Amino acid sequence: MNSILDELPCPSTYSRMLLRRWQRQAKELLKSTGLDAHSLLQQTTVSVRQQLQILRNAKRLAGSRDWALEFGRELSINSHGPLGFAAVSAKTLSEGLDVFGQFVRIRAPYINASTSSSERNLILRFDVDFQALDDLEIPMAEILLQVASAYVVAVLGEDVSSMALCFRHGARGYASRYSRFFKGSFEFNANFNGVVLPASFRVIECPLHDESVYRSSILRCREDLQAVLAPDDVVARTHHWLAKHFDQIATNHSAISLPRLEQLATELCVTPRTLIRQLANKGTCFSDLRTTQQLGMAQRMLDDARYSASEIGTLLGYDNPANFARAFRRLTGMAPGEFRRRKRSE
């Protein structure tokens, strides 16, 4: 594992939960971590290296191949901190899944996630190859899919027969037990680990939606994400910095100045020329990333009846409604008004 990523911080919540499970075997659980039971209980974070070692030790202590299923069932929304609160307070199921896609790394920096949507499906994918997990890949997939499927059940209720859970691994000797831990159907030897739902579920409203809780939780998630982004991941850092900037518009309901490359360069302690070169080496540029964030926020704000399309353009830094409409059409293929009407009809 990369030594920089190795020392990134993880919340100690999951490690403390494992310690409660194996309290009498604390020394074995914490072997090779440099931690003891007292220090773990006092710490709010552990390193990636320490958390993965604790998971490997837990696997050995469990002595059964399905230990991750039992552990995943213990995880509640409270276990996931601001990520959990942001997901359950989101307006729609799609926005809640996006929370997992954007912020799963604040709870597990060694996992990447993403969401995608097509005419048929809404998909949440977990990338367990982001860092080599080796013997932990299958247990981690089982835990992640329990967390994601539990969230979908919380939104939809018990009838989730349309949900498919995809596992990259084959059906193991204990696969018959999956129905005790998961709702929906299973697909083994799939191309990815993740949850697949009908596209029409995008607009299903979350029963615990609370806009103020959602916005405050998202801001907390963005603050936490800053600590676990790799220093050399300039695209992710730019994306995160811009997203945090535009989130302030939705939170404060007021216009703020358009973010500039020079500001980000100062934040990252590099020169503007160096930042331009680093982004170019990744095949992108600051203005493209900024436009993507602008119009992504526009799509969310168009779902809010308090704003007219022209007000949204002004809040997002466009000097006149025509420029906003043209930029929005380039990204989505439709005018802001048409996008709003379609969302409402859905």
What six digits make up the tokens of 222? 């963005």
The SS3 of residue 346 is: coil
Delineate the domains of the chain, giving CATH numbers in brackets.
3-63 (no CATH), 77-203 (no CATH), 231-345 (1.10.10.60)
- Residues 146 and 69 sit within 8 Å (Cβ to Cβ): yes
Closest CA to 143 of 25, 23, 59, 217: 59
- pLDDT for 123: 95
**What is the C-alpha separation between 151 and 145, in angstroms, rounded?**
10
Element at 121 (helix H, strand E): strand 121-127
- Cα–Cα distance, 27 to 24 (Å, whole number): 8
Torsional sign, CA 289, 245, 122, 303: negative
**CA-to-CA distance for 175 and 177, rounded, in angstroms?**
5
Residue type, 121: N
Average pLDDT, the chain: 88
CA gap 96, 149 in Å, rounded? 12
Q: What is the pLDDT of residue 270?
A: 92
Q: What is the pLDDT of residue 2?
A: 54
Q: Which pLDDT tens digit goes with each residue over 113-156?
A: 999 888 889 999 998 877 778 889 999 999 999 999 999 999 99
What are 84's two structure tokens?
């959990």
Helix orientation angle between 211-226 and 93-103, rounded to the nearest 10 degrees: 20
| Confidence (pLDDT) at 1 | 47
- Identify the pLDDT of residue 321: 84
Residues 6+ apart with CB under 8 A from 50: 10, 15, 33, 34, 35
How is 58-120 classified by DSSP, letter by letter? HHHHH-STTHHHHHHHH--GGGGHHHHHHHHHSSBHHHHHHHHHHHGGGT-TT-EEEEEE-SS
Bridge partner residues of 186 (DSSP): 165
pLDDT on residue 119: 80
pLDDT value at residue 17 = 95
Q: Which two tokens stand for residue 7?
A: 């020392």
The amino acid sitting at 86 is A
Alpha-carbon distance 110 to 115, whole Å? Answer: 17
The residue ranges of the chain whose pLDDT is under 50 are: 1
**Quick one: pLDDT at residue 4?**
66
222 CA to centre of own chain: 10
Element (H, E) at 51: helix 48-62
**Rounded Cα distance, 87 and 214, in Å:** 8
> Looking at the whole model, is its pTM more than 0.85?
no
